[in-house]
Amino acid sequence: MMLHVPGVLSAEQVREMRAALDAADWVDGRETVGPQGAQVKHNRQLPELSPVGRELGKTVLAALSKNPLFFSAALPLRFVPPLFNRYEGGENYGLHIDGSVRSVPFTNAQLRTDLSCTLFLCEPEEYDGGDLEVVDTYGTHEVKLPAGDLILYPSSSLHRVHPVTRGARISSFFWLQSMVRDDQRRSMLFDLDQAIQKLRARLGDAEETVALTGHYHNLLRMWSEV
């Protein structure tokens, strides 16, 4: 399941984040990928242990913790702290699949990458190219979202970033392990939760919505790995 999550960051938060990123030191993006990814990755990013990146990442995760749509779709258990990248002057990232396991900096923990996230920090008109292309069982999807919006998609998907031919494309990217490993089950839970929310808005906590809410939580209890 791919999902567009609008308005994760406010316009003010985006401006503050961009000011901090414009003043930061960027490094070769190949530092955080294996030998296969290094062959097709051509961009820059903040160092993984960058103090600026760590503080900005906390802002991103705090915003996501207050976003009910994101929680409903992702059912997050653990995150890799957000990273930040920059593409310009023809830089791109060729077709690849994200690694299945990531280490969590400053800990001994590792997590399974169930879902990948890209949070856009530039408006689409600020740059040409730079579309995120995701290939899944339903075809090929090209994504270029407003600043502050996020795209969520399975980490098992083939994807790429097209060359940026004008301006700069700046974003945050990160991975998470979900409480529910299976994408199909997670999608079913998301659809059920969204239907319940619409019924509650129309009917309130009627007998039917309470019953469906019970089924949702029992399925989550059955499928979660918490």
Domain count, the chain: 2
Find the mean pLDDT for residues 24-45. 84
| Residue whose pair of structure tokens reads 């939580």 in the numeric block | 217
- 75 and 137, same structural domain? yes
Query: Phi, psi (5° rounding) for residue 207?
Result: -55, -40
- 100 and 203, same structural domain? no
For 125-187, the DSSP string reads GG-EE--EEEEETTEEEEE-PPTT-EEEEETTSEEEEPPEEESEEEEEEEEEEESS--HHHHH
The whole-chain average pLDDT of the chain stands at 95
- 152 and 90, same structural domain? yes
**Among 178, 193, 211, where does a domain finish?**
178
- 158 and 86, same structural domain? yes
- 52 and 134, same structural domain? yes
- 201 and 155, same structural domain? no
The pLDDT value recorded for residue 117 is: 98
Read off the pLDDT of residues 62-77 as tens digits, 9 standing for 90 and up.
Answer: 999 999 999 999 999 9
- 105 and 188, same structural domain? no
Radius of gyration in angstroms for the set of CA atoms belonging to the chain, rounded to a whole number: 18
Read off the pLDDT of residues 74-97 as tens digits, 9 standing for 90 and up.
Answer: 999 999 999 999 999 999 999 999
pTM above 0.85, yes or no: yes
- CATH number of domain containing 156: 2.60.120.620
Domain that holds residue 191: 183-223
- Name the helix (H) or strand (E) containing 98: none
